[in-house]
Structure 1
Amino acid sequence: MVLMGCLAFGFVQGQPLQPAPPVTKSELVRKWEIPEANQGVGVDKDFFYAVDNRRIGKYDKKTGQRVALFEDAKNGAMLHLDSAVVIDGKLYAAHSNYPQLPMTSSIEIFDTATMQHVGTHSFGIEWGSLTWLDRHNGFWWAGFANYNKVFGPSQQPYGNKYWTTVVKLNDQFQKLEAWTLPEPVLERFEEMSNSGGSWGPDGKLYLSGHDPAEVYVMELPKIGSVLQWVGTVTVDIKGQGIAWDRSDPGVLYGIIRGSKSQPHQVTVSRLNIK
């Protein structure tokens, strides 16, 4: 009787099945070939900031020319910068020790005027590998990834993607609430996880995976601890960190990670936001 009830209501892995939400398309506005665009991108009114593991390049939005560069030493403390958000003249970058174990994470803070490192906040061993940070409605929001992929000599997956968590934080980066992601979205990440996140001008949270050329439109649930998947937008990206341009509503920055034969790129897309 219990099994029949679960089947009737469509439960999988303890979560109710949901019909796939609508898919919409975005319009590609511009692409830039940017050598640091390996992990993610941040953006403010006049510049965008391409993020690599140990480097952040500052670029003029109109010309695509680099105007400043932060680069840590190869043997420096920075291991894996991921995505970035710019708030009031400061760039806040997600940082982790990916793919080392145990997972540790921190927020690294830069002055956008000088591109000098000016602050840090360590989470230590907490919820996973920090991949993105954003500011919305007076709070900080952060994505902590876990993975099903096995790296290097390890015999175990790097966490478990079902433990991927979105955390709401106060001004001191202390946890207030947290949510997981719906299983159908996690399945699109394959063995990887949530790599980017940015709150849109419509008040919805947009998440990206490690590789797919799409972003997932999420809302906070009215009941429970699983974010609600309400839409998908195809975007000219290859997963990784994303950032809304809050000086130009509807414009989303992303990256296409390159290869030996193709350069890294920053992409600028316009989404039809209602």
Structure 2
Amino acid sequence: MDLHITTLAERPELEGRMWSMKDLWPEYMMYDPVGWANMGRIVAEFPEYVLVATEAATDGTTGGNVVARGFSVPFQLHAAGRGELPATGWDQVLLWAFSDLRHGRTPDTVSAIEITVATSALGNGISHRMLAALRANTQRLGFSELVAPVRPNGKHLEAAASIHEYAFRTRESDGLPHDPWLRVHVRAGGTVEKVAPASMTVSASVEQWRSWTRLPFDTDGPVEVEGALVPVHCEASRGYAVYVEPNVWVRHAV
């Protein structure tokens, strides 16, 4: 597939099409409160860190359909009290980025936030190309490092497995990560560094979880949910359930 990848700063007219792109994110993933509050702010305040891929039009121009997006944010990793990639991963790096922006701190690192490919364009290797473009954009903006709280996309098939074991599991054939998305990152030059055990949290009533998943959520204990990397903890007797998603920190020198 012939792609044109640009920043949203370069092509702001693509914003609407970018958001309306159909994807495979489970509905409950949209209700992490940190993401809910800040994803739109990335577009508004960091458009040069947002990449949009369009399929080339038949005449070779940059028209065409939006087939992928890639979000990243700049932040100051080495600020006082930081220095380490946080255990609260995705949520924390978003909070740091907008805190730094508000307080005028000079960023020293870029974090990937998401790479999403339209359902109509899956299977064309676009995620690999978007990762390469995020790396290149990070370098273009004057940074030497891109970090990523990676959502290992095969982990949902082993929801009960330890993320600490899964993150560092490798293939005997080539020593690359067992997980397909982690493998893409390593092949691109990244290094798997550590687990972020509480990268994203979705807390909601059992009624909300039932509407999102069509599962009963009527018993206390773990509930395996389609697409979830670990079981959701259900407190049916108290009327709520909580999903705490682990991610895996990967570092990319660019």
TM-score relative to the length of structure 2 = 0.26
Structure holding more helix per residue: 2
TM-score relative to the length of structure 1 = 0.25
Structure holding more strand per residue: 1
